[in-house]
Each structure stands twice: as C-alpha cells, then as structure tokens.
Amino acid sequence: MSIAAKFEIEYLQYLDAEGKQVRDDLPAFANDLPHMVELYKLMLSTRVFDAKSVALQRTGKLGTYASCLGHEAAHVGIGSAMKPEDVLAPSYREYGAQLYRGVQPREVYMYWGGDERGNDYQKEPARHDFAWSVPIATQCLHAAGSALAFKIRNEPRVAVCTIGDGGSSKGDFYGAINIAGAQNLPMVAVIVNNQWAISVPRKIQSGAPTLAQKGIAAGLFSIQVDGNDIIAVRKAMEDALERARTGKGGSVIEAVTYRLADHTTADDARRYRGEQEVKDAWAREPMKRLRNWLVAKGVWDDAKEEAWKAECDEWMDNEVNAYLETKTQPVSAMFDYTFAEVPADLAKQRDYVLSLETKGH
C-alpha cells in the first residue's frame, strides 16, 4: 500500500506546572529577564483587571462579561509576539493581548457596558485592530481578508486571529484557514483551547487527537503548545509570524489551557463540570509557574508582587472611574450609525423616540 501523506504535531513546552524548565534551549527573549518581568507584570495586571470587571458586573455597573481567568499566558504571549503593524482579530476575552497592544480597560468596560464607542480604540497599535467579535469564528474571516490585502499590497504584515476550541469547529474557521493555505496568506490562527465551549467539553467537540491538526488539512504549519507557559506561546507565535511575514505561509497554533472561571458572568460552570477538575486546573495555572521561574532567577519576590498589585489597583480604579464618568450617548445615536441614509421607518421611530425624550420620558 502506498501512503498519500503523513503528518505529526509537535508539542512545545519550556516551563512545567511548577515553573521548572523542561528544556535548556530558551529563546532569546526568555533570556532577557527584565522583559520577562514586564510580561509577568502584564499578566498580573490582566488578572487584576479581570477580577475588577467581574466585580463591576456583579454590582450592576457592567453587562455580561467574559472572564479571561487562566488565559493570561496565552493572551500576553500572543500580543507580545506581534509587531505594531500586524493586525489582531480577537474573539471576546483576549484582554491580555489587547492591553499589550494599547486597548484601555475603560474601553473594555464601555463595550461590555453596552456602549459601542468602546470599540473605537484610541491608542496605537490597537487603533487598526478589529473590535471584539461575539458571533463565533467570524473574526477568522476578517483576519483572512486582511491577510489577503497584505499580500496584494506586498506589505510585510501579518493578520492574527484567536478562536476557542468550540469555535474551531465552525465553518467560518475552516473557511478562513482554507483560503489562508490555498493562497499562501500571512495569517496566524490561534486556537485557545480552554477545554470548554460553554458547557460542551473538548472530548466530545472533536474526534481529532489535537485541534492543531485541523490546520494540516488546510496546508498550514500546525503546532500544539502548553498554553499556560508564556515562553512556549510566545516562541510559537514568533516563529509563525516570521514564517508568515517572509512569505512562507500561515500557521495554526493550539494553545492548551483551561478556563478557570465561568464562560461568562451569565453562566454557572458548576452545573456541568466537577470541582476536582477545576482544582486540578488551578495547579497548572499560568501565573504560578512564571512567578516561580522568575523568583528562582532572583528577579521577583513577594515585595515586588505586592507593590505591583497596589499599582494595578490604582490603575484599575482610575479606569473604572473614567468609564463610569463617561457621558452617555444621546438616544438618537442608536439610529445614526447603521445606515448611510436612514430608512423612512427608522426615521419615523427616531422622531418618536426623540419626542418622548423631549417630554421627559
């Protein structure tokens, strides 16, 4: 019997669950300890931000919110590997990557508070990134389209999209990676495999041993990494971005992590997953392993941790106040930005709503 094709999926890890190195060939950025401290500080900032966001929702000051607890290494690893000129098409919980690229917490709060002005990022390079995408996997098509534009313009830029394990089963994802492979587009798709698509576990989402191998069918380089190990995520991202930037094609990276919180604040994960499973996942979480590694290197300690947490608390308080003090849009705004020319029926509704507002309703 002849063989049409063979493939294998590499697994990449540098730090184990306790923060011990499992291989000695650290990438160059990991030997820059001050830089690694900055990455840890952003991961810690992201966790403080996440806790503050949940508290805001629970006190009625924010709408439904999607937590990123447990995803800090995956997200910061993605964002820190990208160049400013690259483009990020996120789903709805990649805050660590977005904070690295200049999105302000107040903008996240505005978005989840129901104000679309939160999508209008004010700082570079986030200004040319895409807004949050709640419809599952549609952002992957946006990334593929951007990558096609970069190729046509001969620009050395890369489009990056993120997707969950469940979202990687959507046709939008398959369509995006298929065109990326067929047209040799500069695109990197990161599957952040947090083991749960809301209440659907990874084990019944796909019969494939890895989610990374979905990229093989599209003709893309594919790799699985420990998504709780920021060194592994960052290294895989750097390599994928370099391949894409130099015309060697796109990639699919599966970052294996765990969603430590509920899917969103509208969810109660206790209804569908066991307490021991979550407890075991906390033992593998990303913050502990990087912190232990930095402490062993002599560049981090408890005093620095507490001092940075205090700075983060002050930063978050300022961002929350900026969000709460933002003047609401006029009621007419809901009619103003959907059509270039407002249809007659909507114009009639707008006039009616404005008349009620004038009457003080």
The catalytic position among 23, 58, 127, 272 is 272
Tell me how far apart the alpha carbons of residues 269 and 279 are, in angstroms, rounded to a whole number.
13
| 263 is known as an active-site residue | yes
Q: Three-state DSSP class for 115?
A: coil
The catalytic position among 263, 284, 289, 291 is 263
Picking from 91, 122, 85, the residue whose alpha carbon sits closest to that of residue 105 is 122
Cα–chain center distance at 61: 23
Tell me how far apart the alpha carbons of residues 37 and 40 are, in angstroms, rounded to a whole number.
5
What single DSSP character describes residue 338? S
| 142 is known as an active-site residue | no
Residue ranges of alpha helices (H) inside 154-221 are: 171-182, 214-217
Tell me how far apart the alpha carbons of residues 174 and 176 are, in angstroms, rounded to a whole number.
5
**CB proximity list for 130: less than 8 A, separation 6 or greater:** 87, 88, 89, 90, 139, 142, 143
Tell me how far apart the alpha carbons of residues 39 and 345 are, in angstroms, rounded to a whole number.
52
Name residue, tokens 């947090």. 194
| 289 is known as an active-site residue | no
The catalytic position among 142, 259, 284, 291 is 259
Q: Three-state DSSP class for 350?
A: helix
Picking from 303, 188, 299, the residue whose alpha carbon sits closest to that of residue 236 is 188
What single DSSP character describes residue 251? E
**CB proximity list for 339: less than 8 A, separation 6 or greater:** 346
Tell me how far apart the alpha carbons of residues 161 and 54 are, in angstroms, rounded to a whole number.
25
Alpha carbon dihedral 119, 55, 45, 261, in 10-degree steps, equals -90
Contact indicator for 113, 65 with CB cutoff of 8 Å: no
Q: Which are the catalytic amino acids?
A: 259, 263, 272
